[in-house]
Structure 1
Amino acid sequence: MNDEAVIRAMKESDLDEALKLWRISFNVGFSTNFDTKEILIKYLNRNPGLSSVACTKEGKLIGALMCGHDGRRGSIYHTAVYSEFRNKGIGRRMEQRSLEELKKAGITTGFLFINVNNPGSKEFWNSIGWTVISNIKYLYKEF
């Protein structure tokens, strides 16, 4: 399946399927208040070409990854692949594509946000070179 998955930039038209995947994958760890289609369209427009999707040759979305930057550091959010397509290198290929796009924008360092309650997430990201920073806490506030 790895060679058959097409990895490309996420488009607005992918968001309905991506949101469906993220809600299934992250369950209660996904914010339906904050991560609306409208907000994610703004994010994609602010960060064109950085987010990635994986699709079958027939065009069915099977993976999605949000990526952007603030001018200094890149950020990766909401990476998910449908369970039947996992362990085939798809998540890694989406990450590589987005990191290459960040490099083209002059960004060479970044952060990755995971839900510690998502089984296997920490292990997956550690296995492909991401490091947990234990002395930094990520804080959240809606305003």
Structure 2
Amino acid sequence: MAALAIAPVEDADIAAVIALWQRCNLTRPWNDPAADIALARRGPNATVLAGRVGDAIMATAMVGHDGHRGWVYYVATDPDHRGKGFGRAIMKAAEDWLRETGIAKLQLMVRRENVSAGAFYQSIGYAESQTIVFARWLDGREPTP
């Protein structure tokens, strides 16, 4: 198995990262992935990590924190290369990034219908929280499930 070289994304990576997210069914019509990347890269509290084998991006994770809790979004592994440990490696890199900033707790959200993602997170030591997440659009849109 080839090891992932993991580093923050660069401008030249953005199209490939978005394409991977689309292949992994992570994007939604109400979220602009390019804007999400730009926002994460804007300040010191977030980044987007990419794991590469050679020039190919095999895994990603958007990681950030609010000063108290860390969050991970857009965790993706190339569907043609799953089962090679890339998901574990990118999650370890996200956890390490948060640890280095002094954040002790990582949270993430998984859509209920994404049973395989839930099983993956459980396999690497995550437990389902009993917290309910509420959401509200601040731009006037109706709530989405």
**What is the TM-score normalised by the length of structure 2?**
0.84
Distance 2:47 2:36 in 1: 16
**Retained in 2: the 8 A contact 1:77–1:114?**
no
RMSD: 1.9
**Retained in 2: the 8 A contact 1:65–1:94?**
yes
Unaligned runs of 5+ in 2: 139-145
Counterpart check, 1:13 vs 2:12 = yes
* 3-state SS, counterpart of residue 39 of structure 1: helix
Partner amino acid, structure 1, of 2:127: T
The residue number in structure 1 matching 2:62 is 66
**What is the TM-score normalised by the length of structure 1?**
0.85
Q: Which protein, 1 or 2, shows the higher relative CO under an 8 Å CA cutoff with sep ≥ 6?
A: 1
Q: Percent identity, aligned pairs only?
A: 21
Distance 1:78 1:113 in 2: 10
Distance 2:126 2:44 in 1: 22
Runs of 4+ in 1 over 6 A off after TM superposition: none
Distance 1:47 1:98 in 2: 14
Counterpart check, 1:139 vs 2:138 = no
Partner amino acid, structure 1, of 2:137: E
Counterpart check, 1:96 vs 2:92 = yes
